[in-house]
């Protein structure tokens, strides 16, 4: 489960038009979240609030043998009025979904293009696009376009900042983060941790990020070991090949049914995706050691009409590690991922699989395969013929005709909001398994106004005590 402050930080990125997917360290984000999702330990309660469009707070209290907690504050210079902050209104996929569809690339001088609906694959409506961007004029939405020129008014949108601080108790560990947007393509982050047990009393990490759509660059420096690093990611294919192609508009000769002349879905067979290649170099100035890695990714774009999928390959030539992952959105409610790692020097290998299964049923109905709230309405039975009364039989006559019953009032058809409410997801089941026969199970959902996460870790090698961890996490926000 993503924390409330991470949810607000992602809202800040969306409001300022920053694409977090266009970074090298996010290459394996989909498979990592599907396989390496964290399991709660003990009992943890989080109370959060978006007090004003610029200010958010969060208080956390947990118990894992020792009672601990934290206090968090966040300030955004851009008003975050386009998001739902109440825990009973936040869309669960925004907090819980692991499969990540790529954003469409934006060209310099254009507004950030929103990704499609992760379930339907359709482009966002102008109204929803305005709600997410929060800075587009009404005239632009009325005209059905979000693209804009590189004007002074547009430039002011990209000069915002975010301040975040968190104090952990009782350890008195303090962490902070500053995000400053200078231009449409340039962003700087500074993160710091202060704790007495750390070397020099703490550490500072600085990041300089440069995103031009087709490629993204990132430089970093950390006071921990004097680490210097450089990362880069280059995109080609799909929307990165042509900035004039509108993936939502059918090509000439295409019909809206995606069928060719033989009536077969020919367009669905064509994979529309983007290739990304990149690498990183880092060097420790204090310990005089360095490292590097190379990676590649192919991921389908929101305009792809087939099964969404993501495949990655990363190589660390110095250590001899090869990592390959494959993830797909098999159905709108089911995502699968697999990962294989191999070392060419030691010949050791590891594998892991993960899945998430969404349900609009309650937990009991999901496990039993039935849901009273979603059962189809029974068909009306034809009226049974009434038997002749005993008095009429004795008098050799028919019963007197009964007055016709008044017709039942017609029920109004369900509105779109009611249908959407009934189809809303109520929870998700996540599971993983690795080559060491370790299983992770996690059920996340919403009960009234509370978002909960219940998980356990199981080790099949130790059947005498298979449960290695058990935890419950509850979040409430207003």
pLDDT the model gives residue 327: 95
What is the per-residue pLDDT for 118?
Answer: 37
Query: What is the pLDDT, as a whole number, of residue 141?
Result: 33
Q: What pLDDT score was predicted for residue 129? A: 37
Question: Per-block average pLDDT, block size 10, for the chain (478 residues)?
Answer: 90 88 91 92 93 94 88 94 88 86 63 39 39 36 37 61 93 92 92 86 92 92 91 86 48 43 45 90 90 94 87 94 94 92 93 92 56 49 66 70 63 50 74 94 91 93 87 92
pLDDT of residue 381: 60
List 383's β-bridge partners, or say none: none
| Model pLDDT, residue 367 | 53
Report residue 364: phi and psi, to 5°: -65, -45
Dihedral sign, Cα of residue 316, residue 322, residue 433, residue 423: positive
Residue (of 171, 3, 195) closest to 94 by Cα position = 3
**103 DSSP assignment:** P
Closest CA to 303 of 102, 60, 30, 25: 102
Per-residue pLDDT, 293: 95
- pLDDT value, residue 455: 93
Q: Give me the pLDDT at residue 306, please.
A: 85
Spell out where 17-116 has E strands. 42-52, 55-64, 66-76
What pLDDT score does 49 carry?
A: 94
How far is residue 137's CA from residue 153's CA, in Å, rounded to a whole number? 11
Calculate the dihedral angle through the C-alpha atoms of 414, 415, 418, 420, rounding to the nearest 10 degrees: 120
Q: What pLDDT, on the 0 to 100 scale, is given for residue 263?
A: 40
> Do 329 and 99 meet the contact criterion of CB atoms below 8 Å apart?
yes
Q: What is the pLDDT of residue 58?
A: 95
User: Does the predicted model carry a pTM greater than 0.85?
Assistant: no
Q: How many CB atoms lie within 10 A of CB 279?
A: 17
The pLDDT assigned to 242 comes to: 58
Write the CA distances from 384 to 378, 381, 387, 391, 471, integer angstroms: 17, 8, 9, 20, 56
pLDDT at 136: 36
CA distance 90 to 449: 10
| Rounded-to-integer distance, Cα 24 and Cα 87, Å | 32
Please give the pLDDT value at position 119.
Answer: 37
Q: What is the rounded distance in angstroms from the CA atom of residue 80 to the CA atom of residue 92?
A: 19
């Amino acid at each position: 489960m993503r924390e409330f402050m991470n949810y607000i930080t992602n809202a800040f990125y969306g409001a300022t038009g920053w694409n977090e997917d266009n970074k090298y360290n996010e290459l394996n984000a989909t498979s990592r979240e599907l396989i390496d999702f964290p399991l709660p330990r003990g009992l943890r309660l989080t109370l959060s609030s978006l007090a004003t469009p610029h200010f958010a707070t969060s208080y956390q209290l947990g118990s894992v043998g020792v009672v601990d907690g934290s206090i968090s504050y966040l300030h955004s210079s851009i008003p975050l009025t386009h998001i739902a902050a109440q825990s009973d209104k936040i869309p669960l996929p925004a907090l819980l979904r692991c499969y990540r569809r790529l954003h469409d690339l934006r060209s310099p001088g254009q507004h950030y293009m929103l990704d499609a609906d992760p379930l339907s694959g359709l482009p966002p409506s102008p109204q929803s696009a305005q709600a997410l961007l929060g800075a587009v004029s009404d005239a632009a939405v009325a005209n059905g376009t979000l693209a804009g020129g590189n004007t002074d008014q547009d430039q002011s949108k990209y000069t915002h900042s975010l301040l975040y601080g968190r104090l952990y108790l009782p350890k008195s560990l303090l962490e902070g983060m500053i995000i400053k947007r200078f231009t449409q393509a340039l962003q700087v982050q500074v993160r710091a941790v202060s704790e007495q047990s750390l070397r020099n009393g703490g550490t500072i990490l600085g990041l300089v990020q440069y995103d031009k759509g087709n490629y993204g660059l990132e430089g970093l420096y950390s006071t921990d070991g004097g680490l210097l690093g450089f990362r880069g990611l280059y995109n080609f294919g799909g929307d990165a090949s042509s900035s004039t192609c509108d993936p939502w508009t059918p090509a000439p000769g295409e019909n809206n049914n995606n069928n060719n002349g033989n009536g077969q879905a020919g367009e669905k067979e064509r994979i529309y995706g983007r290739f990304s290649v990149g690498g990183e170099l880092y060097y420790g100035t204090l310990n005089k050691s360095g490292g590097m890695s190379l990676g590649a990714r192919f991921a389908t774009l929101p305009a792809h009409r087939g099964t969404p999928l993501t495949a990655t390959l990363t190589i660390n030539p110095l250590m001899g590690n090869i990592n390959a992952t494959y993830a797909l959105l098999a159905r709108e409610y089911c995502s699968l991922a697999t990962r294989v790692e191999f070392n060419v020097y030691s010949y050791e290998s590891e594998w892991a699989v993960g899945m998430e299964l969404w349900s609009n049923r309650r937990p009991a109905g999901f496990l039993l395969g039935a849901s009273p709230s979603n059962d189809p309405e029974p068909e009306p039975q034809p009226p049974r013929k009434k038997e002749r009364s005993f008095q009429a039989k004795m008098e050799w006559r028919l019963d007197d005709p009964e007055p016709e019953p008044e017709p039942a009032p017609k029920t109004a058809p369900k509105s779109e909001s009611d249908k959407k409410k009934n189809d809303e997801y109520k929870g998700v089941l996540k599971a993983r398994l690795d080559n060491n026969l370790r299983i992770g199970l996690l059920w996340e959902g919403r009960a009234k106004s509370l978002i909960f996460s219940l998980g356990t870790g199981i080790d099949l090698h130790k059947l005498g005590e298979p449960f290695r961890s058990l935890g419950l996490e509850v979040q409430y926000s207003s």
